[in-house]
Chains A and B, each alone.
Chain A
Amino acid sequence: MPTLTNSGKPHASRVQIALIGCSHRTAPVELRERIAFTPDQALRAADELRLSGTLEEAVVLSTCNRSELYGVPPETGSDAQGALESFITNFHGIPASELSGRIYHQQNSEAVRHLFRVSAGLDSMLLGESEILGQLREAYGRALDHGSTGPVLNRLFQSALEVGKRVRSETEVGTRPMSVAWAGVKLAERVFGELKGHEALVLGAGAVAEQVVENLRNRGIGRLRVVNRSRDRAEDLAQRMGGESLDWNALDRALESPDIIVTSVSGTEPVLSRNLLEKVHQARGGRAMFVVDLGVPRNVEPEAATLYNLYLYNIDDLGEIVEQNRKAREAEIPHAEALITEHIGKFESWCTSVEAISLTQRLRERLLKERGKLLEERSAEMASLTAEERERIVRLTDELIERVVQTPNDKLRRTRELRRRLAGIEALRDLFGLDGEDS
């Protein structure tokens, strides 16, 4: 991935990052959908912000749960936050009063922490979900291809993607199923491994059954069949999910081949008795069978759980697993936060290096300017000097300036501790007045 600026400005004297956005934590879905950016709108917004001089670099991250605008404001010290808020109200045509309290602003290390937490899934509605990492990669990739990023956002987003990957690989935040449907499918995988080549039968066509079917399909289930008392609904679900529907009367026969059975039908009596499942199990040659009973009242006789090589989970079992997983994921948050803090440190260290290089460049420019002024002021005194002698004075003073600049430059580069390096930069800025316009 390229890391050089698209704006052609390699080093800033002070690296600044601004963030404005709203998410599921601050705004209801009605407002979020109005503030959302399509991919084209995101690029157009970045262009407008850069053209207007509000930002030098910009990336818009827009998902169903958040719309966030990350940018690098210019060094002139203008009110980036106010400008960004005005931009959002104008871009989407939303009155500022509606956004009051719904929008958050963050700057520098807080903005960095926020982005890293987003990429790690810690700010997601479903803790640790991994979809956000893909969305972040896409948003950044589009901005990069479009040319609206620069060295700062390139570094920031690449670090964010790295954090996201590390948190998911080194902690348990992103593992273990967090929904009943997903838990059922993941448990089936604990029995069969890959679901490719296996067959599933779904009894019922309700909402939860549909979620299970969707998860099964996403996990590559080999064959999917749906049975429902209402054949039309079964056909509808089967068609949408790429399976086949069966008549309710064919249920007994249909039970013999599937490895996974998901039941979610309404009724006061169990649909699958222990005896029926025992017969089915024998007919299958005792091969393992995984049964998910999502019905309330239960669709499968609980005694069926005692059958050899048959694994039966009802909705409460799955609910307990989900709850246990949620707690386990939450317990991993401190580990994830520690990784985030580590990466913030790395990013800040990089920012300080950029600032240090910029600072010594400014110091050199300042000294060269002073030397030019001095030579001009003393030109009358040096009237008797030949062109070669003048040239020699310039060369000698060039060398002197390089020596003077070299020491702070080396010291800043060698200092490993970020706090000391920052203090050094600030001291140099103050000492030589390198923040002023005259520099």
Chain B
Amino acid sequence: MNGAWAYVNLALYVLSFICYARYLYGTNEWIGRLATLLLAAGVLAHYAALLARSRWTHTVPYDDLYGSMSLFAWLLGVTYLGLEVFHGQRSVGAFVTLLLIVWTGMVMAFAPDAAPATPPARGPLFALHVTLNTLAYAAFGLSFVLSLIYLIQNRVLKARRPGLTFWRFPALDVLEKMSRSSVIVGLIALAVGMSFGFVWQHRLSGQFSAADPKIIVTLVIFALYLAYSWLAGKSGWRGARAARICALNFILVLFSYTIVNLYLTSFHRYL
């Protein structure tokens, strides 16, 4: 069931996308600022939607696939806003908000009508573990978008046929820096989030174990993004090759997020 805040948040994302797209096409700084403000308002409304749903289901927003995906979108918006401010670059806003709209719309379309069963309280350590891991996935999602834009821009530059909106896109250098920043955020969040997870597991069972498909896949994801971060600065890999790796890595993130959680793990399964 979608609350009123969910619709408000989706509407604000749509409005923000319109402004970002207009900004990409024109040069009006005020339109760009308005797009950022609308996105910030959308993120706030999204938070209100997550809060409202948590109160309704009497549980945290990540206990079912719906809540988890919604949290992912919210963290994607938050991470993007942070990067936009840090790099002073809002030309990719249209692509990120488009992803947010599609993702949020999909989440809303498949929202379950019944509240999931209330799980037992699992404490703040578990909450931090899940939230940080979702933040890591959101940051990887953002680097995926940035890498795709990089590859398109690179292709256009190599083909020597710049199109209409080409001149508004951020420079390759900027895209690469933003993507690497995003991956660094993701790696740190994933490292800390996984550590919390292991500590929580130890408290629960008295042992550390990686014998769960979700943990194995997450460790592989961590290793792949770490490899990307290292290769992105290396001769012969920096540029389009590194961007391709980054974009491909995200396929595994999606696999971990959906197939693994839904079918391959019992320990990390949604309610």
Contact = CB atoms under 8 A, between A and B. Distances in A.
A169, A193, A308 — which one has the most chain B CB atoms within 10 A of its CB?
Answer: A193
Contact of A286 (B26, B167, B169, B239): B239
Contact of B28 (A169, A324, A328): A169
8 contacts: A168-B27, A169-B29, A192-B171, A308-B240, A308-B241, A309-B239, A311-B158, A328-B164
B238 A169 contact: no
Interface of A: 168-172, 175-176, 186-187, 189-193, 282, 285-288, 305, 308-309, 311, 313, 317, 321, 324, 328
Interface in B164-199: 164, 166-167, 169-174
Contacts of A305: 158
A191 B241 CA distance: 15
Contacts of A321: 160, 162
A168 B240 CA distance: 33
Interface string B230-254: 0000111111110000000000000
Contact of A309 (B153, B170, B240): B240
A47 to B, nearest CB: 39
Nearest to A287: B238
B239 A190 contact: no
A41 B28 CA distance: 37
Given A286-B239, A308-B239, A313-B160, A190 B28 contact: no
Nearest to A194: B171
A344 B240 CA distance: 49
A258 B239 CA distance: 17
Nearest to B25: A172
Contacts of B234: 286
Contacts of A309: 238-240
Contacts of A192: 171-173
Contact of B160 (A175, A191, A282, A317): A317
B160 A286 contact: no
B157 interface: yes
A288 B157 CA distance: 12
Interface in B45-75: none
Contacts of B239: 286, 288, 308-309
Contacts of B29: 169
Nearest to A174: B27
Contact of B166 (A168, A190, A308): A190
A171 B26 contact: yes
Nearest to A168: B27
Nearest to B163: A324
Nearest to A176: B167
B171 A191 contact: yes
B169 A190 contact: yes
A176 B166 CA distance: 9
A259 to B, nearest CB: 10
B207 to A, nearest CB: 46
A339 to B, nearest CB: 12
Given A309-B240, A328-B164, A191 B26 contact: no
Nearest to B167: A176
A118 to B, nearest CB: 20
Nearest to B156: A190
B162, B234, B235, B236 — which one has the most chain A CB atoms within 10 A of its CB?
Answer: B162
A155 to B, nearest CB: 23
B236 to A, nearest CB: 5
Given A190-B166, A191-B157, A317-B160, A288 B27 contact: no
A270 B69 CA distance: 56
B173 A193 contact: yes
The list of the 10 closest CB pairs from A to B, nearest first, reads A193-B171, A285-B235, A286-B235, A169-B28, A317-B160, A193-B173, A309-B239, A193-B174, A286-B236, A191-B172
B235 A282 contact: yes
A189 B236 contact: no
A311 B240 contact: no
A419 B167 CA distance: 42
B154 to A, nearest CB: 9
A286 B241 CA distance: 11
A193 B237 contact: no
Interface in B1-52: 25-29
A313 B161 CA distance: 10
A29 B46 CA distance: 62
B67 to A, nearest CB: 39
B236 A187 contact: no
A186 B171 CA distance: 10
Contacts of B169: 190
A325 to B, nearest CB: 9
Nearest to B171: A193
Nearest to A284: B235
A187 B157 contact: yes
Contacts of B164: 172, 328
B27, B29, B166, B234 — which one has the most chain A CB atoms within 10 A of its CB?
Answer: B27
B163 to A, nearest CB: 9
Nearest to A328: B164
B232 to A, nearest CB: 11
Nearest to A283: B235
Given A187-B157, A286-B238, A287-B238, A175 B27 contact: yes
Contacts of B160: 313, 317, 321
A189 B27 contact: no
A192 B171 CA distance: 6
